[in-house]
Homo-oligomer: A and B are copies of this chain.
Amino acid sequence: MRSQSSEQSVPAPRSAPFPEDGEVAVLPVGDVHTEAGGVVRDVRIAVQRWGELRREPDGSTNIILVEHALTGDSDALTWWNGLIGPGLPLDTERFCVMCTNALGGCSGSTGPASRHPDGRPWGSRFPALSIRDLVTAERQLLDALGIDRVTAVVGGSMGGARALEWTLMHPERVGAAAVLAVSARASAWQIGIQSAQISAITNDPEWLKGDYHSSGGYPRQGLAAARRIAHLTYRGEQEIDERFGTDAQDGENPLGVFRDPSQRFAVQSYLDYQARKLIERFDAGSYVALTEALNRHDIGRGRGGLNKALSEISVPTLVAGVDTDILYPYHQQEHISRNIGNLLGMAKIVSPVGHDAFLTETRQVARILRRFLLLAADEDQE
């Protein structure tokens, strides 16, 4: 199954140059063979790091690997602002903080919008990914950089799913893990709402079965619809209601004689704005590929089921969630914490913001990350 194609496979490079501090490097990591039996040829992974790398004689490093969420990128300094830097929880005077753009993404790493080795965009030829495939690509990057082991892997949402898979796929290479605002597998509700987003994109006439990249068109309306739905799952309903309620958008009247999409409630304008921002920076094919990877998230698959897989996690792991999270409700993090083999700690982010609180409640996340690193260091010395 690993190599069905007759094309020549690209071996992983032995040693890639280490990225400059703060600069995006895009490094070849060879072919990635997916869990389902597909191949992404000649993958490149975008990576950034902040802080000096230190290698210990035993192969370990001071790297903290930060994992981004669905529409994130390698620039963790921006999307996790206030948490990475000198004296901050992910202290770049002590650690080398590293972040890669996920396989399937569109911010430097190989994804559906990238060129296939034949020169045309991957488009519909891009295989379906699982969360494990994203970890595989990242592991191949560490191989290429000659990095055997990291101090910790940390992430929220899709990033948390990857952090959790790291602890099962490569426990010997991870000192500790912090897993935020995610579950041990997709829930049926998540699959349902995520599939609604995928359908919104694939039903757009400009999707062209995923091969729109050289068509001149773009499934803009579909991606916007997907983002509006997604955003409602990222935000707590009380927070959104406190901000917008039934207010009309300034200068518009959503209560006219006839329904008129140009006359909006304030919340519609807000969601349109979120959608517009995403369309400008994100590829619809990447959105579909990574949302599909979230649908396939299940650490129990092929490992004797969910709780058996959780019980076999030996990497010290801190689990955190948000009390108002609709998408990954807190009971899902409680489930992980009850069943995980090596629980380092449990933390609750208290916020009206909902799922996105792992990005926005900087002070609470800072405390959680400081505690995580203290506990992990303590564990390491035992």
A contact residues vs B (CB 8 Å cutoff) = 34, 36-38, 124, 127-128, 130, 185-189, 191-193, 195-196, 198-200, 202-203, 205, 221, 225, 228-229, 231-232, 235, 237-238, 240-241, 243-246, 254-259, 261, 265-268, 271, 288-289, 292, 295-296, 298, 301, 326, 329, 331
Contacts and interface: CB of A to CB of B under 8 A. Distances in A.
Given A228-B192, A254-B295, A268-B192, A259 B288 contact: yes
A289 B259 CA distance: 8
Contact of A258 (B127, B245, B267): B127
Q: Which of A198, A258, A329 has the most CB of B within 10 A?
A: A258
Contacts of A271: 192, 195
Tell me whether chain A's interface is mostly helix, strand or loop, or mixed: helix
Counted per complex, copies of this chain come to 2
Contact of A189 (B193, B199, B237, B331): B237
Contact of A187 (B231, B241, B261, B292): B241
A259 B38 CA distance: 11
B267 A191 contact: yes
B187 A245 contact: yes
Given A193-B232, A256-B36, A199 B225 contact: yes
Contact of A195 (B203, B243, B245, B268): B268
A139 B148 CA distance: 75
Contacts of A301: 246, 255
12 contacts: A127-B258, A187-B240, A188-B241, A188-B244, A189-B235, A193-B232, A195-B271, A198-B259, A203-B221, A229-B229, A254-B296, A259-B288
